[in-house]
A and B are shown apart, each in its own frame.
Chain A
Amino acid sequence: MENREVVIEVKDLVKSFNGRVILNGINLKVYKGETLVIMGGSGCGKSTLLRNMIGTHRPDSGSIFIKGNDITKLNESEFDKIRKIYGMVFQDAALYDSMNVEENISLVLCEHTKLDPDIISIMVKMKLELVGLRGFEKFMPSQLSGGMRRRVGIARALAMDPELVFYDEPTAGLDPIIAGVIDKLILDLSKKLQITSVVVTHDMKSVFAIADRVVMLYDGKIIAEGEMSEIKNSEDPRIKQFITGSPEGPIQFLQSGDGYLDELTK
């Protein structure tokens, strides 16, 4: 496996907000054609890690290589070349409010290619078909449900036929059937088109369905990394707890009693 082509490599990534360290030395490799799932509790920095990988946040230190280019050192126009090979599905879809569904998807095509408008409109239809929303071209984002917006977001990310797609919780808040459809879509894209996917999710069902490899983020570090089967049989109590979703275990949600009492009575 080690001789497979590395698409993304994250080295010693550190990121903090206002002095609070969120990511503390992340090392990570993503290989061509695989689906890597990043798991971790809510607020542990999964979206932040993704934002660093797509370059909308700059890390405090460390480097991120996409196809051998350190994106933390590129200037805007060099980075724009890299941006054209990946797509990003945002956690809250982030559709362009002022544009309808068709324009949301076609915008990049109009701006970055010289394709004929007719061809672009066919491509938009194909992308919408992929996510099961053909016929909704003229809808405005505000007229769509949350799940539909998410799916338009996926269609938009796929508009330029990227070789690398980032998904931030693509199935959260969707009904199980649509979640299944999206899992299948991610799977198809990677198996048939060799698209590399990085998926952030804590939906265990979809992790089992799509992941080739899993990394688990906890307390600013990667505490486990491996093939799906290794993770499933892992003896690490933290991973076991996450997979079973048990409130009892080493990952504490409830604060210890005395500190809480102190704070209340202060």
Chain B
Amino acid sequence: MLNFIAAIGKRVLSTLSQIGGIFILLKATLFWVFIGPFIKKPISYRNIFQQMVFEGVNSLLIVFFVTFFTGIVLAMQSAYQLAQLGAEMYVASLVAVAMAREMGPVLAALVVAGRVGAAITAELGSMQVTEQVEALQTQALNPVRFLVVPRFIALMVMLPCLTILGVFAGMVGGYLMGVFSIGINSGVYIDITFKFLALKDIYTGLIKSVSFAMIIALIGCYMGLNAKGGAEGVGRATTVSVVTSFIMIILADCVLTGIFFFSQM
């Protein structure tokens, strides 16, 4: 029994110290993003660009795939309900708004957490356990500036871009379903889409995706830099990183949606 309580206590303590560690990492990252460039050489653009290609461009296809089919599914599911009211044409607005406010940002974030977050943790983790991070330190190259910042910036830029493209792909999926299968007039579909899709739907979605980018990058980097114990430790860190990112993305989504909902945004 006592062992059990001690185990829980240990778990809570280590979780708290991880949360603390992530906030320290956030502080250091923001320092190197905003203040660092004025006191040191700016981070090499090539490095950021490489990360952007890896994190963003290479995730495009899978994000398209997921959101496109989700758009189709959303159209079918909402048509099923709206048909009972004889209001099938509102499938258009339902798909558009749901994609922009909710499905686009969350799906893109989950896909990227699985693909990019895992890769970040695995890469930094293997650098950590093979002493490469220590080597950077001894060469007076700050690991946060050198490893975290390019990944962080790249993700903050690329995830919102992926989200917008994903939202668009989802809307295209909904359109194809609505027009060619459910039988809504093409002009009407497009009309209703833009009548109900407000600018705020887009930017609340983008606010979400920026927050998700931060979560993925920080958790991915933190877990990587704190990996211990060889290849096995890197594997463990990667799993923890992806699972934690997923949980945090869903939690953050819930909180942000609540904020937007109750402040009428």
Give A residues with C-beta under 8 Å from B.
51, 54-56, 76, 80-81, 83-84, 86-88, 90-92, 94-98, 107-108, 111-112, 156, 160
Contacts and interface: CB of A to CB of B under 8 A. Distances in A.
B127 A90 contact: no
Given A97-B126, A97-B127, A90 B141 contact: no
A83 B138 contact: yes
Given A56-B137, A76-B142, A107-B141, A90 B131 contact: yes
Contact of B132 (A51, A80, A96): A96
Contacts of A91: 131
Q: From DSSP, what is the main secondary structure of chain B's interface residues? A: helix
A66 to B, nearest CB: 12
**Most chain A beta carbons < 10 A, residue from B135, B136, B142:** B135
B134 interface: yes
B140 interface: yes
B148 to A, nearest CB: 15
A83 B140 contact: yes
Contacts of A90: 131, 134-135
Interface of B: 41, 123, 126-127, 130-132, 134-142
Contacts of B41: 111
B126 to A, nearest CB: 7
18 contacts: A56-B137, A76-B142, A80-B142, A83-B137, A83-B138, A83-B139, A86-B138, A88-B135, A88-B138, A92-B130, A94-B135, A96-B127, A96-B135, A96-B136, A107-B139, A107-B141, A111-B139, A156-B135
B155 to A, nearest CB: 18
Given A86-B138, A87-B138, 6 more contacts: A55-B137, A88-B138, A91-B131, A94-B131, A96-B127, A108-B140
User: B41, B127, B134, B140 — which one has the most chain A CB atoms within 10 A of its CB?
Assistant: B140
B131 A92 contact: yes
Nearest to B28: A76
B138 A56 contact: yes
Contacts of B142: 76, 80
B139 A56 contact: no
8 closest A-B pairs (Cβ-Cβ)?
A94-B131, A83-B140, A80-B140, A94-B135, A88-B138, A56-B134, A108-B139, A94-B132
A112 B140 contact: yes
B140 A94 contact: no
Contacts of B130: 92, 94, 97
B26 to A, nearest CB: 17
Contacts of A81: 140
Contact of B140 (A51, A84, A95, A97): A84
A217 to B, nearest CB: 21
Nearest to B138: A88
A77 to B, nearest CB: 8
A27 to B, nearest CB: 23
B143 to A, nearest CB: 11
A202 B140 CA distance: 29
